[in-house]
Copies of this chain bind each other. A is one copy, B any other.
Amino acid sequence: MDRIVIKKIEENITFESPPVLVCGLPGIGNVARLAVDYIVEKLKMSKIYDIYSTHLPAQVFVNSNGTAFLPKNSVYMKNISKKKSMIIFTGDFQGNTPEGQYEIGETILNIARENGVKTVYTLGGYGIGKLVENPRILGAVTNLKIRKKLESAGVIFSENEPGGGIIGSAGVIMGLAGEFYGMDAACIMGETSGYFTDPKAALAIIRTLSTLVGFRINLKEMEERSKNIEQLTEKMQGEMQERSQKDDLGYFV
């Protein structure tokens, strides 16, 4: 097997205009993948490629009906309107190694280039290690032109965030797109505790993305999932506060 195998799912794809590429793979708070899975489902996007790789874990997943499938990355497309098309890149895992992440990144960017992509948004979670009430959307960009576009969509650029850079596929794909493909690329990160799968941050990401790309999407289900998490969060905060008040009263050392 080649290290990367691209399987065409749909033969005749026509983009009515040069698409934007949106990348969302599993990562911090699973924010990116939650967001793109929701978009793919709600916009009924068409799957055009499956990408298998020896850079992905050696296993199968098993569905509830007992059918099993290899881990893969997948590419979806949709002509949103005559003037707007979108490609979404998602998958079960990021590459196992740095080399794998670079190679898979190049694979999706080659597909993007063939289809005329000029703009790339990679999605991610920005883990801050504590509960988040109103997740900010933070940005990083490959040039200042696209920064303006992001700012006008409410994306925040904060001087020291993210401090350590952007690790993994969201970083690599963005970096390669800017450095080697001449594309405008940005990473859009939803603030999250990082403690659990975070639909609230995913919801914020979807809202930002719908403005940036220009699609309409029914947010109801994600809003509900987000509310459930919010209630859970409040409950946890309440309990923690209670506990710390008790501590202050000296009941516990």
**Residue in B closest to A69 when the chains form the complex, CB atoms:** B175
Given contacts A59-B171, A60-B175, A169-B58, is CB(A142)–CB(B98) below 8 Å? no
Partner of A179, one of B64, B70, B102: B70
Q: Which of these binds chain B: A15-23, A157-165, A238-246?
A: A157-165
Alpha-carbon distance between A105 and B68 when the two chains are bound, in angstroms: 16
Copies of the protein in its oligomer: 4
Contact residues, A1-42 vs B (CB, 8 A): 1, 3, 5, 7
* Chain B, residue nearest A155 (CB): B66
Q: Which of A49-57, A83-91, A213-221, A227-235 contacts B (4 or more CB under 8 A)?
A: A49-57
**Alpha-carbon distance between A237 and B169 when the two chains are bound, in angstroms:** 44
Is A172 engaged at the interface, CB distance under 8 Å to the other chain? yes
Counting CB contacts under 8 A, is A139 at the interface?
yes
A58-B162 in contact given A66-B157, A68-B140, A179-B52 (Cβ < 8 Å) = no
Closest residue of chain B to A162, judged by CB?
B62
Q: Is the CB of A174 within 8 A of B67?
A: no
Contacts of A1 in B (CB 8 A): 102-103, 106, 176, 180
Give the secondary structure class of A's interface. Answer: mixed
Which of B5, B59, B157, B174 is within 8 Å of A166, CB to CB? Answer: B59
Are B174 and A68 neighbours in the complex by a CB distance under 8 Å?
yes
A99 CB within 8 Å of chain B: yes
Flag if B98 contacts A57 (CB, 8 Å): yes
Q: Are B159 and A67 in contact (CB under 8 A)?
A: no
Task: From the candidates B67, B144, B167, B180, name the one contacting A59 in the complex (CB within 8 A).
Answer: B167
Q: Contacts A172-B59, A172-B60; is A141 near B98 (CB within 8 Å)?
A: no
Please, which residue of chain B has its CB at the minimum distance from the CB of A62?
B140
How many Å from the CB of A191 to the closest CB on chain B? 15
Q: Which residues on B sit within 8 Å (CB–CB) of A5?
A: 180
Residues of A within 8 A of B (CB): 1, 3, 5, 7, 52, 54-62, 64-70, 95-96, 98-99, 101-103, 105-106, 139-144, 147, 157, 159-160, 162, 165-169, 171-172, 174-176, 178-180, 187
